[in-house]
Amino acid sequence: MMRFDDLDGRVAIVTGSSSGIGREVAVAMARQGMKVVVNGRTGDRLADVERDIRELGGEMLAYPTDIRRSENVQALIDATVERFGGVDVVVNSAGGTYNAAPETITDKGWHTVLDINLSGPFFLARAAFPHLLQSPLKSLIFIGSIGGIEPGPGHLHYSVAKAGVTHMTRVLAFEWGKYGIRVNCISPGVIRGPNSQFVGNAEMEQRWRNRVPMGWIGRPADIVGAVLMLASLEASAYTTGTNIRIDGGPRSGTTKE
């Protein structure tokens, strides 16, 4: 992994870091010498990433909380500043969804998916804003999804939320560019994770592979390099308002499952 010297000693918050992309990002940032605040909804789910970071000798704070509530997000920011003195990089990686045809999505399901994927990341960006102003890095990174760009079956609520994240990235980059805050988004395609719907289902996994031009399913580690680049001021000083697709190549048309 490339070394980004300006990240050493800086403070990063990574939400959704108990597993998947968030966990990989948090550990990679610790390897860069960053002080990392890891977050998930429950403390027991953070045990593995805590262990990995401590084995690296990294400084970290585990702060379990539900980012769907703005007061919880403010408490997360306050705890970070109290422990480490500031905030330099924020990675909004928390997310979640479930399969449902549009006509079957309940009010509760709609609000739950939008709250975790769209409202929570906004609350975190808003709460981090005054502290990012004081940072030399000033980097805010959203983890979107290819689902926010291209339609797919069974995820209307998730796709709408991630499309909102992509556009929020551009709006915040426009609004906060005058302060030097860089706001960017990464939209992964199909990524293998512990909760992937194709885990243990070889036939479904092959169907997903067939949708990817490169012919294989991505890993959380495949997202890390882009996150580190966007976190580093030296590597991305003039990059803001962008959405980086990491999806194994463009699809030609819509493939039915």
| Structure token digits, residue 198 | 């194709």
Active-site residue (options: 63, 98, 158, 238): 158
Rounded to whole angstroms, the Cα distance separating 123 from 115 reads: 10
Arithmetic mean of pLDDT, 230-242: 98
Q: Which of 66-75, 154-163, 205-214 is predicted with the least confidence, judged by mean pLDDT?
A: 205-214
pLDDT at residue number 256: 42
Going by their DSSP bridges, the two strands 139-143 and 11-14 should be labelled as unpaired
Residue 257: inside a domain: no
Residue 256: inside a domain: no
Structural domain including 195 reads 5-246
pLDDT at residue number 250: 81
pLDDT at residue number 196: 63
The CATH number of residue 190's host domain is: 3.40.50.720
Indicate the pLDDT class of residue 200, thresholds 50, 70 and 90.
low
Q: pLDDT, tens digit, for every residue of 176-194?
A: 999 999 999 999 998 887 6
pLDDT at residue number 194: 65
Residue 65: inside a domain: yes
Higher pLDDT residue, 79 or 257?
Answer: 79
Instruction: Work out the percent of the chain whose per-residue pLDDT is above 90.
Output: 80
The one-letter amino acid code at 50 reads E
Residue 251: inside a domain: no
φ, ψ of residue 89 in degrees (nearest 5): -140, 135
Tell the burial category of 69 from Cβ atoms under 10 Å away from its Cβ (0-12, 13-18, 19+): middle
Q: Quick check: is 158 catalytic? A: yes
pLDDT at residue number 94: 94
